[in-house]
Amino acid sequence: MGLLSPLNWVKDLHLLDIDFEIDSNRVVDSLHSRNTNTSNFCIINSDSKHILTTDLENSHVSFIR
C-alpha cells in the first residue's frame, strides 16, 4: 500500500517520468518478478505493476537503503 497510494496519486495528477525510491527490497523485487500469486501482497503489487506499465510507462521504482 505504501507504493500503490503514491502511484495512484501521481497518476491522478497526470505527472509523468517520476522516479520512485522505496526502502523495501521485497516490493521492488516483486515488481520486477514475473511470478503470480494470490496473496494480498501480490495482488496489491500486481495493481502497482499495472499502473506502472499502462499509465506511468516512463517511471521507475528502485530500492534505496
pLDDT in tens, the chain (65 residues): 888 999 999 999 998 889 999 998 988 988 888 776 667 787 888 889 999 989 998 888 999 98
| Three-state secondary-structure class, residue 27 | helix
Rounded to the nearest integer, the mean pLDDT of the chain is 87
Helix (H) or strand (E) holding 58: none
CA distances from 41 to 3, 15, 38 (A): 11, 26, 8
Residue entry with cell 522505496: 22
Can you give the residue ranges of every domain in the chain?
4-63
pLDDT at 38: 67
- pTM of the full predicted structure? 0.79
d(CA 19, CA 17): 7
**Angle between the 25-32 and 40-54 helix axes, to the nearest 10 degrees?**
60
